[in-house]
């Protein structure tokens, strides 16, 4: 085992605007990688594609990890994939739950989103100067309080029928992250593991990007993290978007 990097220093806050924003400030100040910023509440939590991330105070896991990975920018999606895999593995280890991943990095339980990941990076020349890996996992509350979300989203409590120990779940996720990060630093790939956890390969999907909506068969995810979509005779490579699996 190498030395632990992720979580060797953890700063905890009651309330922040966004742990990603705060972690970015620490990164700009030159803090070492592995720093975790965790908060009980975010007043301006951010999601992918310009969305908000809103979670009741003190119920969930909301944290960001500062990394300085030896990766070229096009491989940054690996960081999001490792976060999604880490959350899925932690849910399996702690609660025997079988989470499924949805490209690019949502974690689903019973086909509903339980965790979202927002990776933001800063590029310097040909390398990533740093990356901020933000993880938001819905834990101890019920989506029935949010009927407009309950069709698409869930919480660990809703799935298990009871509240759980958030700190041991956090420790397990950080431990998983640290393991994957060691592999990234050794130049290893875990794309096979990621593909195996995806619930959508071979299925008909709709992808809503920033500009357009496409439908086709989800063929694969390539080593730069792009989704390969077969639309008629064409294969399209997508780098962002929201996937819906269409019923056969």
- The single residue among 46, 78, 102, 112 that binds ligand BTN, judged by CB under 6 A, is 46
Number of alpha carbons in the 13 Å side-chain half-sphere of residue 39: 24
Q: Take residue 79 and report the two structure tokens written for it.
A: 């960081």
Q: Binders of ligand BTN: how many residues, by CB under 6 A?
A: 20
Q: Name the DSSP letter for residue 111.
A: T
Residue 138 binds ligand BTN (CB under 6 A): no
Neighbours of 171 (CB within 10 A): 14
Rounded-to-integer distance, Cα 101 and Cα 84, Å: 7
Rounded-to-integer distance, Cα 135 and Cα 118, Å: 7
List, in sequence order, every residue forming a beta bridge with 102; answer none if it has no partner: 106
Nearest residue (CB) to ligand BTN, 87 versus 229: 87
Q: How far is the CB of 206 from ligand BTN (least distance, A)?
A: 18
Where are the strands (E) in 52-105, listed by range?
61-67, 100-102
Residue 117 binds ligand BTN (CB under 6 A): yes
Q: Take residue 125 and report the two structure tokens written for it.
A: 């020349």
Beta carbons within 8 Å of 183's beta carbon, 6+ residues apart: 190
- The single residue among 7, 69, 104, 116 that binds ligand BTN, judged by CB under 6 A, is 116
Residue 112 binds ligand BTN (CB under 6 A): no
Residue 59 binds ligand BTN (CB under 6 A): no
Candidates 42-50, 80-88, 195-203, 223-231; binding stretch for ligand BTN (CB under 6 A): 42-50
Angle at 13 between CA 83 and CA 142, to 5 degrees: 65
Residue 136 binds ligand BTN (CB under 6 A): yes
Nearest residue (CB) to ligand BTN, 113 versus 219: 113
Rounded CA Rg of the chain: 17
- The single residue among 8, 10, 40, 47 that binds ligand BTN, judged by CB under 6 A, is 47
Nearest residue (CB) to ligand BTN, 42 versus 234: 42
Residue 80 binds ligand BTN (CB under 6 A): no
Q: Which residues bind ligand BTN (CB under 6 A)?
A: 18-20, 42, 45-48, 51, 53, 62-64, 106, 116-118, 134-136
């Amino acid at each position: 085992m190498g030395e632990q990097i992720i979580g060797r220093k953890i700063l905890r806050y009651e309330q922040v605007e966004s742990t990603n924003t705060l972690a970015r400030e620490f990164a700009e100040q030159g803090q070492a990688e592995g720093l975790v910023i965790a908060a009980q509440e975010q007043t301006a939590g951010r999601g992918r594609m310009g969305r908000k991330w809103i979670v009741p105070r003190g119920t969930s896991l909301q944290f960001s990890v500062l990394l300085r990975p030896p990766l070229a920018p096009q491989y940054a999606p690996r960081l999001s994939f490792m976060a999604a895999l880490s959350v899925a593995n932690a849910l399996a280890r702690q609660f025997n739950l079988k989470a499924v991943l949805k490209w690019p990095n949502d974690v689903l339980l019973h086909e509903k989103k339980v965790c979202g990941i927002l990776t933001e990076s800063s590029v310097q020349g040909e390398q990533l100067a740093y990356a901020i890996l933000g993880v938001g996992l819905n834990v101890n509350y019920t989506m029935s309080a949010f009927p407009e979300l309950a069709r698409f989203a869930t919480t660990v409590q809703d799935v298990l029928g009871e509240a759980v120990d958030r700190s041991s779940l956090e420790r397990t996720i950080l431990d998983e992250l640290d393991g994957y990060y060691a592999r990234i630093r050794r130049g290893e790939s875990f794309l096979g593991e990621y593909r195996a956890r995806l619930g959508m390969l071979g299925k008909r999907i709709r992808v809503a990007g920033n500009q357009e909506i496409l439908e086709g068969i989800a063929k694969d995810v390539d080593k730069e993290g792009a989704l390969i979509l077969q639309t008629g005779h064409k294969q399209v490579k997508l780098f962002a978007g929201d996937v819906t699996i269409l019923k056969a």
